[in-house]
Amino acid sequence: KDLARLTGYSIHTLKYYLKIGLFREVGRSPETRFRYFDDTSVEKLKKIHSLRKQGKSLKKIKNELL
C-alpha cells in the first residue's frame, strides 16, 4: 500500500509489474509475507511512468531497464 501511495500506481498495477519483471522487491517478511521496497524501486517506477507517457510498450521498457 505504501508503494502505491508513493508512486500513484494501483496495487494491481504494481503486482503486475512485479510479475512481468519490471522491478523487484528488495525483501519479504517471513511472518507476514509483506514485500519490502526501497528508494530505487520508487525511482524505477517513476522512470517507467515517464517512459509509458512517451508511448513505449512495457516490453520495450523492460528491455531498456535491463
Per-residue pLDDT tens digits for 24-63: 999 999 999 999 999 999 999 999 999 999 999 999 999 9
CA distance 20 to 5: 21
Percent of the chain with pLDDT over 90: 94
Q: Is pLDDT of 66 > 90? A: no
Supply the mean pLDDT for the chain.
94
Half-sphere exposure of 20 (CA within 13 A, CB side): 14
